[in-house]
């Protein structure tokens, strides 16, 4: 599988996700800086999230089949280099259209990196992929936690928050080099007859379970990034917190998501993936209802946001683990499609949330996020029913 041991490859992939989280978690706190850089309004610059996830959507859809055909190494290295180049571009440009382009370009790298990274780790430890994927996304959450904290420190010392993006760009190049040196490429399709590839490619995309899982992830990513990208602004307009303190709330939100992934790592030894998803979804609904009640306050609202983050933590990695297990013979295609739906959620819902937050009272923003979580719970129930009524052998052989 690798020139290095699986532990080393997983460690490198965890570093990739750490820097990935560092970049993603930093978007919200530097939104105003980007708007000043391009002389645009807050509502207009909010479109960067849509362009980021548009690029990720496209690359995720093609990255799954590409990893099956050409191997994970090629997809990962190219994706990391795309990420690095895109970050440099968005730090330098002063044009809003070019800002959108570079976020789109960065998204192309982000999508391919995310799909190939999840598959690399799932392949390294197939018997405990739920736990190891929660560990991988723990590092993403940790990066998203420290990113806003670094930006808050930079702003407090009259330094541009974009310094975090410059760091991420350079580190992605270093990690790409490590993959080139240490990871052995292994295309799955190289050992499969071409006729079998064609047959499985058709059948896996016809599975209702796969589509329901994708739609659930769409709602989750939309609300996760909706809160993560606008928590700083939400606390500023609802509780009059200065932007430096609001950035710390965003940091804490991602920090509790990180803790939730550690909890998912522990609970995966006792709960099946769907049971773990059920606990997380219901818990996040309780947290957002509390946020409705406490909007306008400071401490209670922050605690509610932390509860949501804690419950959110395990949702994404556990969903990917469930998909990887359910479609064992078509992991690349299945994980790629489900991840694509996640990008659709990130493409549309956070931008809508930003417009609502800018034009309407903060409570309207929270109600919007609550509606999304309710939809997420509804699709989770649908998945449970579909999975229960579908023979496992049929899923595994698709």
Asked if residue 334 is part of any domain, the answer here is yes
Asked if residue 293 is part of any domain, the answer here is yes
CA–CA dist 240, 235 (Å, integer): 6
Category of 387 on φ-ψ map: left (φ > 0), alpha (ψ -120 to 50) or beta: alpha
Range of the domain at 44: 6-187+198-396
Enter the pTM of the model. 0.78
What's the pLDDT score for residue 390? Answer: 66
Query: In degrees rounded to 5, what are phi and psi of residue 95?
Result: -105, 130
User: What count of Cα atoms within 13 Å lies in the side-chain half-sphere of residue 342?
Assistant: 26
Q: Tokens 């200065």 — which residue?
A: 242
Could you read off the pLDDT of 46-81 as tens digits, one per residue? 678 778 878 888 998 888 888 878 888 899 999 999
Cβ neighbour number for residue 379 with a 10 Å cutoff: 19
What's the pLDDT score for residue 159? Answer: 75
What's the pLDDT score for residue 99? Answer: 86
Asked if residue 192 is part of any domain, the answer here is no
**Stretch 280-301: mean pLDDT, rounded?**
95
CA–CA dist 327, 321 (Å, integer): 10
Hey, is 63 helix, strand or coil? helix
What's the pLDDT score for residue 393? Answer: 39
Asked if residue 266 is part of any domain, the answer here is yes
> pLDDT grade, residue 17 (50/70/90)?
very high
Do residues 10 and 117 touch, judged by C-beta distance below 8 A? no
Do residues 183 and 9 touch, judged by C-beta distance below 8 A? yes
In sequence order, the 6+-apart residues with CB closer than 8 A to the CB of 391 are none
Asked if residue 54 is part of any domain, the answer here is yes
Here the CATH number for the domain that contains residue 298 is 1.20.1250.20
Asked if residue 217 is part of any domain, the answer here is yes
Could you read off the pLDDT of 354-397 as tens digits, one per residue? 899 989 999 999 999 999 999 999 999 999 888 877 654 344 44
Number of domains in the chain: 1
* Closest C-alpha among 67, 75, 138 to residue 318: 138
Do residues 260 and 313 touch, judged by C-beta distance below 8 A? yes
Asked if residue 193 is part of any domain, the answer here is no
Across 2-16, 163-177, 379-393, which has the greatest mean pLDDT?
A: 163-177
Asked if residue 1 is part of any domain, the answer here is no
CA–CA dist 210, 389 (Å, integer): 14
What's the pLDDT score for residue 72? Answer: 87
Query: In degrees rounded to 5, what are phi and psi of residue 226?
Result: -60, -45
């Amino acid at each position: 599988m690798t020139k290095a041991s699986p532990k080393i490859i997983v460690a490198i992939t965890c570093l990739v996700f750490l820097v990935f989280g560092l970049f993603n978690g930093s978007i919200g706190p530097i939104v105003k800086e980007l708007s000043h850089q391009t002389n645009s309004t807050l509502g207009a610059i909010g479109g960067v999230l849509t362009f980021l996830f548009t690029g990720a959507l496209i690359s995720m859809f093609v990255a799954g089949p590409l990893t099956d055909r050409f191997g994970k190494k090629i997809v990962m290295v190219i994706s990391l280099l795309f990420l690095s180049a895109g970050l440099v571009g968005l730090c330098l440009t002063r044009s809003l259209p070019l800002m959108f382009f570079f976020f789109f370009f960065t998204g192309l790298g982000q999508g391919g990196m995310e799909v190939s990274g999840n598959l690399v780790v799932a392949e390294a430890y197939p018997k405990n992929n739920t736990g190891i994927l929660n560990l991988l996304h723990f590092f993403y959450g940790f990066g998203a936690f420290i990113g806003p904290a670094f930006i808050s420190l930079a702003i407090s010392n009259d330094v541009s928050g974009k310094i975090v993006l410059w760091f991420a760009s350079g580190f992605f190049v270093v990690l790409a080099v490590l993959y080139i040196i240490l990871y052995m490429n292994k295309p799955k399709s190289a050992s499969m007859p071409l006729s079998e590839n064609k047959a499985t490619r058709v059948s896996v995309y016809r599975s209702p379970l796969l589509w329901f899982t994708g739609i659930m992830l769409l709602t989750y990513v939309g609300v996760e990034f909706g809160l993560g990208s606008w928590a700083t602004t939400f606390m500023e307009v609802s509780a009059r917190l200065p932007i430096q303190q609001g950035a710390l709330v965003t940091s804490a939100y991602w920090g509790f998501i990180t803790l939730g992934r550690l909890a998912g790592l522990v609970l995966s030894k006792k709960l099946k993936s769907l049971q773990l998803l059920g606990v997380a979804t219901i818990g996040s609904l309780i947290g957002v209802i509390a946020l409705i009640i406490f909007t306008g306050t400071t401490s209670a609202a922050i605690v509610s946001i932390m509860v949501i983050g804690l419950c959110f933590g395990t949702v994404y990695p556990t969903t990917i683990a469930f998909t990887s297990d359910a479609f064992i013979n078509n992991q690349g295609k299945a994980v790629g499609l489900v991840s694509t739906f996640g990008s659709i959620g990130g493409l549309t819902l956070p931008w809508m949330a930003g417009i609502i937050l800018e034009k309407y009272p903060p409570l309207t923003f929270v109600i919007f996020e609550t509606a999304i979580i309710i939809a997420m719970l509804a699709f989770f129930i649908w998945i449970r029913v579909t999975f229960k009524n579908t023979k496992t052998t049929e899923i595994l052989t698709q």
